[in-house]
Amino acid sequence: MTRLLAVSGGIDSMFLLERSFREGGDFAVAHCNFQLRGAESDEDEAFVRAWCGQRQVRCFTRRFETAEKARREGISLEMAARSLRYDWFAALCRTAGFGAVVTAHNADDNAETLLLHLLRGCGSRGWRGMAAESTVPGHPDIRLLRPLLGWERADIRAWMEAEGCRWREDSSNGDEHFLRNKLRHQVLPVFRELNPAFVRTLNADMAHLAQADDIADAYFQSVKPALVQADGIPVHALLALAHWPYVLWRLVEDCRLNPETFDKLLALLQKYRTAPRGTVTLGSKQFQSPTHLLYFKRKKLIISKVP
């Protein structure tokens, strides 16, 4: 299988590239120039091109108008860059026949991702962190591999320094306007002081939580067919389940309800479930998100997309 390695020129991706080159196998390199750091971005591109040229490794590069995409779509630079790179990686795989995209996410990245998920609010699937093998976001037909999840950042640096390998330093990694950077530079050092093995501990916990989430998902999939009906979700069938709040959350999780709105929906159904029969009605209640409208009709929960 020919792999496509995502290489920024930073220490993690150069570690992935150096190890892949030494171990052999068929691979090529893809480098994104997001044009966000002026000459520094161009120098990163030149560095990766030169490394590949000296070793006769196929290298694909592309420049993106990242800031323009972020402005046009009203999203963050980080989200714009993520979308651009994964769409391009998937397109390369389809046109050039690569079997998988390989990224250099490591154990520290995984721990940071878990903390970000917890800060922003996440369900049980957010506890899983990154998977060693999954699919490219937005492209379920393209495999995504993360072989460095067992490596901590300090061990990667130690190996690169011992081997005399070169890499590029991204100045934006020090910009604490980005939440991940603030976590990395201000919060994680405190965790590391309290528990030097916290990265390893969090990664082990994520593996256990992933197993628990698999069990919960199996339960959800077993009850879902009886609930998802053409004319809505039967309220009485939902409330008869032992774990109906979890099932409700899974049923509406793609509706982009904010936490307060979901809590109101949950509270209404809890009151309907426990109150004396006929004392609580559902008919006039509505719950709206930017993309969906949820309401009740004939004791069924209707989920309707907003035009």
Q: What is the CATH number of the domain that holds 44?
A: 3.40.50.620
Query: Between the CA of residue 258 and those of 204, 262, 302, what are the distances in Å?
Result: 30, 6, 18
- Asked if residue 78 is part of any domain, the answer here is yes
Per-residue pLDDT at 117: 86
Last residue of a domain, one of 178, 198, 218: 198
**Do 13 and 7 meet the contact criterion of CB atoms below 8 Å apart?**
yes
Gap between the Cα atoms of 229 and 158, Å rounded? 56
Residue 173 has pLDDT above 90, yes or no: no
- Asked if residue 34 is part of any domain, the answer here is yes
pLDDT tens digits along 254-299: 998 998 999 999 999 999 999 998 788 898 899 999 999 999 998 9
Per-residue pLDDT at 47: 98
- Asked if residue 217 is part of any domain, the answer here is no
171, burial (CB in 10 Å: exposed 0-12, middle 13-18, buried 19+): exposed
- Asked if residue 215 is part of any domain, the answer here is no
Residue for token pair 């080159």: 21
In this structure, the answer to whether residues 251 and 176 fall within a common structural domain is: no
- Asked if residue 218 is part of any domain, the answer here is no
In this structure, the answer to whether residues 273 and 135 fall within a common structural domain is: no
Q: Which helix (H) or strand (E) holds 302?
A: strand 300-305
Mean pLDDT of 96-121: 93
Residue for token pair 């309800």: 257
pLDDT tens digits along 72-90: 999 999 899 999 999 999 9
Per-residue pLDDT at 189: 93
Residue 163 has pLDDT above 90, yes or no: yes
- Asked if residue 206 is part of any domain, the answer here is no
In this structure, the answer to whether residues 91 and 233 fall within a common structural domain is: no
Residue 135 neighbours by CB distance under 10 Å: 15
In this structure, the answer to whether residues 187 and 236 fall within a common structural domain is: no
- Asked if residue 124 is part of any domain, the answer here is yes
Whole-number mean pLDDT of the chain?
94
- Determine the structural domain holding residue 122 and report its residue range: 3-198
Confidence of residue 239 (pLDDT cuts 50, 70, 90): very high
Confidence of residue 107 (pLDDT cuts 50, 70, 90): very high
Residue 99 has pLDDT above 80, yes or no: yes
Q: Report how many domains make up the chain.
A: 2
In this structure, the answer to whether residues 245 and 180 fall within a common structural domain is: no
- Asked if residue 265 is part of any domain, the answer here is yes
Residue 220 has pLDDT above 80, yes or no: yes
Helix axis angle for 259-274 and 244-252, nearest 10°, is 140
In this structure, the answer to whether residues 120 and 9 fall within a common structural domain is: yes
In this structure, the answer to whether residues 98 and 239 fall within a common structural domain is: no
Mean pLDDT of 138-149: 97
Provide the whole-model pTM.
Answer: 0.82
Task: State whether residue 132 is helix, strand or coil.
Answer: coil
